[in-house]
Structure 1
Amino acid sequence: MKKYIKHSVFGVILALSLSACMKDLDQEPIDPDSFTEKDVFKNATEAKGALAKIYASLSLTGQKGPSGDGDIAGADEGSTGYTRMQFYLQVASTDEAIIRWSDAGVPDFHNMSWTPANTFNNAYYNRLGQQIAFANSFIDNAQALASDPEVGYYIAEARFIRAYAYYNVIDAFGKAPLVTSSKADLKPAQNTRAELFNFVESELKDLEGKLKAARANEYGRVDVVAAQALLARLYLNAKVYIGQDKYTDCITYAKKVIASSYSLNTTDANNNGTAYDELFLADNNSNGAQNEFIFLASFDGLNTKTYGGTAFIIHGATGGNMNASSLGINDGWSGLTAPKEFVNKFEVSARNGNNEPTAWKDKRAMFYTDGQTYENTDLKDFTKSGYAITKFKNITSTGAAGKDPEKKFPDTDLPLIRLAEVYLTYAEAVLRGGTGGDRATALVISTNCVAVLMVTPLAT
């Protein structure tokens, strides 16, 4: 792991308009040759464009879409998107998925053999550092407009994204410098995991009184529930992070989230017998799924062109005999498959002559089996490295493909915190001994996630 977070010159970067980056942060383009940092922060309208850059750091990889002027050096730009690198470190290293590509450093995650020298490990660290630096620069410069209530919300949102980045640092790396100003030493001292934990906890608690009320913000921007949900997630893992049990605190904040105006999606917009798949369709910003999304990375096939995000997930999981057009894309990258350990988590309704599952009772089991092996027998061959996954699609609930006429870049947003996660967080904290929750309810949630829809809202 690097010894310090590198800082860049952010004036020019923050002077760029990110109107084309976030579909719900409508701003006029800012010419970086005509505007200085002072111009960007001369009023709330201009400052909103700078705020969009911070949100865009969750989705994009550079100043051009989809490539050509990347933010992170040392790795292929398409692979340096925040959510793609998080998938490498946090998903490909588990039984949830296999990335079968042989690019240097990629197999290390499936093999559990990556080191601090791994290209993507370093790129992820630098991406988080960059998000922190963007937020710091915004927070410092926006103070001149802090008397404007709307800018006060912008600052609070930037602080949340900074806290979220530090949460990811805590989770993936442990130690890192705690940098809270763009004017900090370029080589700040290393802080402990506990110090970072305390900072994130303190920030999120303070933000409860500074972010907008639940569902009072634009889609894609955070509100108070995001801070509460991230606190619940932080407390659930406190025993690992700082050696202290925080399950009771976890329950307290999970209950706040569950009692909020966010709701689990029950709208079967495409009438296929389940409301679950709506969460992963190209119109998940409007088909009912948005009511469950507390925090997300926003994507738009025309305005957020990137080889990370949901483009990576949808294209990457398509290959073999699969019909790419049926998923709303032009081709597959033959990269992502499901190990049998993950497939076996779902209740089976049919098996083939080799006793391998081919159909499931659980509607969440979205696997493609035609021409695919159940066993991972050859990582060099997509069709022999496990079942394919069809969870995310660039298809709307009406069956139409996303907006990109070339079908390269999806409209599908990627939820980073969903209400369903918070229900499961609550259940785990109760079952691990936290107080203030209901054990019977927790057992129902933990043993049958579908039953979450039938759980009586928890009292605050």
Structure 2
Amino acid sequence: MKKNFLKICIFMAVVGLSSCTKDLDRTPTNATTSEVAYSTMDGYKQVLAKVYGSFALTGNTGTSSSDLAGIDPGQADFLRLYWNAQELPTEEAMCVWNDPGIPDFHYMNWTSNNVLLAALYNRSLFHITIANEFLRESTDDKIASRGFTGKDADEIRTYRAEARYLRAFEYWVLMDLFGNPPFVTEKDPIGKYIPPQTTRTELFKYVESELLAVEPLVMKARTNEYARVDQGAVWALLARLYLNAEVYLGKGNTKYTEAITYSSKVITAGYSLKKNYNELFLADNDVNNSEIILPIAYDGVKTQNNGGTTFIINAAVNGDMNPASFGIPGGGWGGNRSTSSLPLMFGDYSGATDKRAMFYGTKLDIDDVSQFAEGLRVTKFRNVTSTGTTPSAPGGAYCSVDFPLFRLAEQYLIYAEAVKRGGTGGDAATATTYLNTLRERAYGNKSGDITSYTLDDVLSERGRELYWEGFRRTDLIRFDKFTSSSYVWPWKGGVKEGKGAESFRTLYPLPATDLTANPSLHQNTGY
């Protein structure tokens, strides 16, 4: 599958980070000096590719390399780590594996020693480190000193704005999951610098200010290269940020009006829903797809690792499902499936009514957590094209399905929720129309249309529309259901019938390794 931006040579060196915040602000190094690397336009774009590539790659030298120390490279991909943290502690997914850290998510008993949480934390900080280095080398003074003027200089400034966005995205990830991480920018010293800890409130203001600052600097919505940041991506993250503002800033600090404003910007920017829902998650979902606003681009040849959509697809398939039909003829790891609560959101979960219901299996309930055949498998992601072919990749081992970080459907749902929560600038009639637009695609007709809706209806619709896309933990927290004893699912809290969990688990702990390495850090409450 053709991914133009992925064809760029990514040459920045691997940086090992185990307890990474102590040395967070440092320059990635290799035999190529910065003066050589940034001496041409191609050089700048190559380094920008590394900033983007930190989403899709674990390291620079193949499947056995990793930018992170202390974890198997196969588990070091951003999406694999993020997906586990966002999906496995919810009703949408449960894994049969007993790999260190995995059962902690289901049973909601993780600690600061969870290796997967530490790796996600370090992956986000590594990405910030790479972005900071690019930003140091793309100031106006640096651009001028290297002889770039006119159109070339302006293009580098656009690259710079994109890097600022990617850094802001990772700070949003850290804010959402860990709350109070260390904080460093390109303006801080390089070397043995111990970054101070920020607060969730301060980080919210920073992410907001960065997004607003880059909004006029990036390319207009739907005009940039595929899989690169534009104004649509900025608006989409702002809308998501504002929808969750009360979680991040505390009770009463709502920004639903702003969520309506920015989701509306996306909705009216020329994006449109993909006609067939299932084609959003196939191997050619980069082609003629005006619903995806910003993806992580994966290619079975150019981004080989056992994370990303390779992980999502393989972990949901085993031998009795004919892996070849999923575009992974040599794959099928038999790990992740749903609890009964996810298919039951659809009522009829056969897919005959709501085509978004894509499940395999006959046993709805999980009685034995070690048995992959218990619980329905999710078949939403497939490494085949819309014409049924499997992309070229060595042995069919790696997948070419891009993962949508942002797509139009989410913005419809943000608008509807923000209106129902009291935001101004929108109206219930328009919100209902947006919800029905999603449902008409799902049903293929108007038989599923609604005339009014509640907040719980929005949460259920988000579950049906966005399941397995990394939203559910954040959604359940916003709806006060994540740790609640009044909203349970099978095996929540470590018991088959489900139970509530401690309220402090709405935040993950800072890794114990970084608490040791960075004396400025204080652990989150409860850990």
TM-score by length of 1: 0.86
* Counterpart-to-counterpart distance in 1, 2:40 and 2:263: 37
Shift of 1:178: 2.2
* Counterpart-to-counterpart distance in 1, 2:202 and 2:400: 38
* Counterpart-to-counterpart distance in 1, 2:187 and 2:296: 24
Q: Which residue of 1 aligns with 2:314?
A: 315
Shift of 1:175: 0.4
2:392 equivalent among 396, 400, 403: 403
The runs of 4+ residues in structure 1 deviating greater than 6 Å are 452-455
User: Cα deviations across residues 59-91 of structure 1 (Å, max 9, x unaligned)?
Assistant: 111122212x21111211111111101111111
* Counterpart-to-counterpart distance in 2, 1:317 and 1:5: 37
Code of the residue aligned with 1:149 in structure 2: it is D
Alignment pair present for 1:366 and 2:358: yes
Distance change (3 Å), C-alpha of 1:445 and 1:6: farther
SS in 2 for 1:403: coil
Contact 2:179 2:199 in 1 (8 A): yes
Contact 1:89 1:121 in 2 (8 A): yes
* Counterpart-to-counterpart distance in 2, 1:316 and 1:408: 12
Q: Which residue of 1 aligns with 2:47?
A: 50
SS in 1 for 2:198: coil
1:71 equivalent among 61, 67, 70: 67
Alignment pair present for 1:97 and 2:86: no
Shift of 1:445: 3.8
* Counterpart-to-counterpart distance in 1, 2:307 and 2:25: 22
Q: Which residue of 1 aligns with 2:366?
A: 376
Contact 1:137 1:182 in 2 (8 A): no
Shift of 1:359: 5.2
Q: Which residue of 2 aligns with 1:15?
A: none
Q: Which residue of 2 aligns with 1:108?
A: 104
Q: Which residue of 2 aligns with 1:10?
A: 27
Code of the residue aligned with 1:37 in structure 2: it is S
Distance change (3 Å), C-alpha of 1:304 and 1:9: same
1:149 equivalent among 149, 154, 158: 154
TM-score by length of 2: 0.75
* Counterpart-to-counterpart distance in 1, 2:173 and 2:295: 15
For residues 109-128 of structure 1, what are the structure 2 equivalents within 5 Å?
Answer: 109-128=105-124
Contact 1:320 1:383 in 2 (8 A): no
* Counterpart-to-counterpart distance in 1, 2:425 and 2:389: 46
2:163 equivalent among 158, 161, 168: 158
Code of the residue aligned with 1:250 in structure 2: it is A
Alignment pair present for 1:433 and 2:422: yes
User: Cα deviations across residues 161-187 of structure 1 (Å, max 9, x unaligned)?
Assistant: 000000101100000122111743621
Distance change (3 Å), C-alpha of 1:93 and 1:5: farther
Code of the residue aligned with 1:76 in structure 2: it is D
- The alignment covers a number of residue pairs equal to 413
For residues 44-443 of structure 1, what are the structure 2 equivalents within 5 Å?
Answer: 44-67=41-64, 69-143=65-139, 144-145=142-143, 147=149, 148-181=153-186, 183-184=188-189, 186-243=193-250, 244-266=253-275, 275-286=276-287, 288=288, 290-329=289-328, 330-348=330-348, 358=350, 360-369=352-361, 372-384=362-374, 386-443=375-432
* Counterpart-to-counterpart distance in 2, 1:304 and 1:3: 24
User: Cα deviations across residues 308-356 of structure 1 (Å, max 9, x unaligned)?
Assistant: 00000010100151000001002200001011100101131xxxxxxxx
* Counterpart-to-counterpart distance in 2, 1:190 and 1:452: 45
* Counterpart-to-counterpart distance in 2, 1:105 and 1:328: 29
SS in 1 for 2:293: strand
Contact 2:236 2:262 in 1 (8 A): yes
Shift of 1:4: 3.8
Contact 1:430 1:442 in 2 (8 A): yes
Distance change (3 Å), C-alpha of 1:206 and 1:315: same
Contact 2:20 2:122 in 1 (8 A): no
Return 145-154 or 403-412, whichever deviates more: 145-154
Contact 2:51 2:163 in 1 (8 A): yes
* Counterpart-to-counterpart distance in 2, 1:85 and 1:133: 18
* Counterpart-to-counterpart distance in 2, 1:137 and 1:85: 24
Code of the residue aligned with 1:174 in structure 2: it is G
SS in 1 for 2:405: strand
> Which has the bigger relative contact order, CA under 8 A and spacing at least 6?
2
Contact 1:133 1:182 in 2 (8 A): no
**Runs (5+) with no aligned partner, structure 1:** 13-31, 267-274, 349-356, 456-460
* Counterpart-to-counterpart distance in 2, 1:138 and 1:359: 46
Shift of 1:449: 3.1
Q: Which residue of 2 aligns with 1:351?
A: none
Contact 1:128 1:165 in 2 (8 A): yes
Distance change (3 Å), C-alpha of 1:3 and 1:237: farther
Distance change (3 Å), C-alpha of 1:5 and 1:212: farther
* Counterpart-to-counterpart distance in 1, 2:180 and 2:19: 10
SS in 1 for 2:279: helix
Shift of 1:441: 2.4
Shift of 1:195: 0.4
Contact 2:25 2:188 in 1 (8 A): no
Shift of 1:112: 1.0
Distance change (3 Å), C-alpha of 1:183 and 1:390: same
User: Percent identity of the aligned residues?
Assistant: 43
Distance change (3 Å), C-alpha of 1:400 and 1:111: same
Q: Which residue of 2 aligns with 1:18?
A: none
* Counterpart-to-counterpart distance in 2, 1:87 and 1:360: 28
Shift of 1:392: 0.6
Shift of 1:360: 3.9
* Counterpart-to-counterpart distance in 2, 1:2 and 1:175: 16
Contact 1:445 1:452 in 2 (8 A): no
Shift of 1:6: 3.9
Contact 1:423 1:452 in 2 (8 A): no
**Runs (5+) with no aligned partner, structure 2:** 1-17, 450-527
Contact 2:93 2:336 in 1 (8 A): yes
Shift of 1:358: 4.7
Distance change (3 Å), C-alpha of 1:112 and 1:448: farther
SS in 2 for 1:156: helix
